[in-house]
């Protein structure tokens, strides 16, 4: 079967096969998907397709088998989900993580983003620069300032039983921190 013959075959049989598989699956979208997948598989065999004598039957058989396989996979997945119910209680973050998040919130956004991407997401300085659109030197400065500010905030939290974390300026005094362009106010 040539490409043109296959295209004509597809155009005439796709709607009919989709209707037949829709009756079988009960889902029009699923019927379209399996018939389309069957045609994709047939495309590789199109040269010997006429020799089979019943190309539409071949497509219908492949599409039906695909639909049954998908149904079996979905059924197995559902059985697995039913056998392993969700746990009654998902544990929350530990106190260390809560303290770290609170300390990160005190940092200016640019420093916080650099710290999170570099230390928590394991990105290199160059990758952080690429992702944030900042020069590598700026990312390094943000990381340095952010680590210093985190150290101050976290050491205050360990000394302060109330745990009141406040933003610091570059001199270590309570303040508003840095602006977007890393200049201290």
* DSSP letters for 124-179: -HHHHHHHHT--HHHHHHHHHHHHHHHHHHHHHHHH-TT-----B-TTSSBS--B-
**Can you say whether residue 168 is alpha, beta or left, with left for phi > 0 and alpha for psi between -120 and 50 degrees?**
beta
Give the residue carrying structure tokens 């300026």: 169
The per-residue pLDDT for 179 is 45
**Per-residue pLDDT averaged across 98-125, rounded?**
90
Environment class of 56 (CB within 10 Å of its CB; exposed 0-12, middle 13-18, buried 19+): middle
**Per-residue pLDDT averaged across 145-156, rounded?**
91
The per-residue pLDDT for 94 is 85
Q: What's the whole-model pTM score?
A: 0.44
Is 60 exceeded by the pLDDT of residue 154? yes
User: Higher confidence at residue 110 or residue 159?
Assistant: 110
Is 90 exceeded by the pLDDT of residue 81? no
Q: How confident is the model at residue 124 (pLDDT cuts 50, 70, 90)?
A: very high
The per-residue pLDDT for 11 is 92
Average pLDDT, the chain: 81
Choice among 27-31, 61-65, 89-93, 139-143 with the minimum mean pLDDT: 89-93
């Amino acid at each position: 079967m040539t490409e043109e013959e296959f295209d004509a075959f597809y155009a005439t049989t796709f709607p009919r096969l989709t209707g037949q598989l829709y009756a079988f699956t009960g889902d029009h979208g699923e019927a379209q998907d399996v018939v389309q997948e069957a045609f994709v598989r047939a495309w590789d065999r199109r040269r010997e397709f006429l020799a089979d004598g019943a190309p539409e039957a071949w497509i219908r058989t492949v599409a039906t088998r695909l639909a049954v396989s998908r149904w079996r996979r979905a059924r197995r997945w559902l059985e697995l989900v039913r056998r392993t119910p969700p746990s009654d209680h998902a544990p929350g973050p530990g106190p260390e993580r809560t303290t770290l998040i609170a300390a990160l919130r005190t940092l200016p956004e640019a420093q916080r983003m650099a710290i999170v991407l570099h230390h928590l997401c394991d990105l290199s300085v160059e990758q952080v620069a690429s992702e944030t659109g900042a020069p590598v030197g700026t990312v390094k400065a943000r990381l340095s300032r952010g680590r210093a500010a985190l150290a101050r905030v976290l050491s205050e939290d360990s000394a302060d039983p109330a745990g009141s974390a406040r933003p610091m300026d570059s001199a270590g005094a309570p303040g508003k921190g840095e602006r977007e362009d890393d200049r201290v106010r």
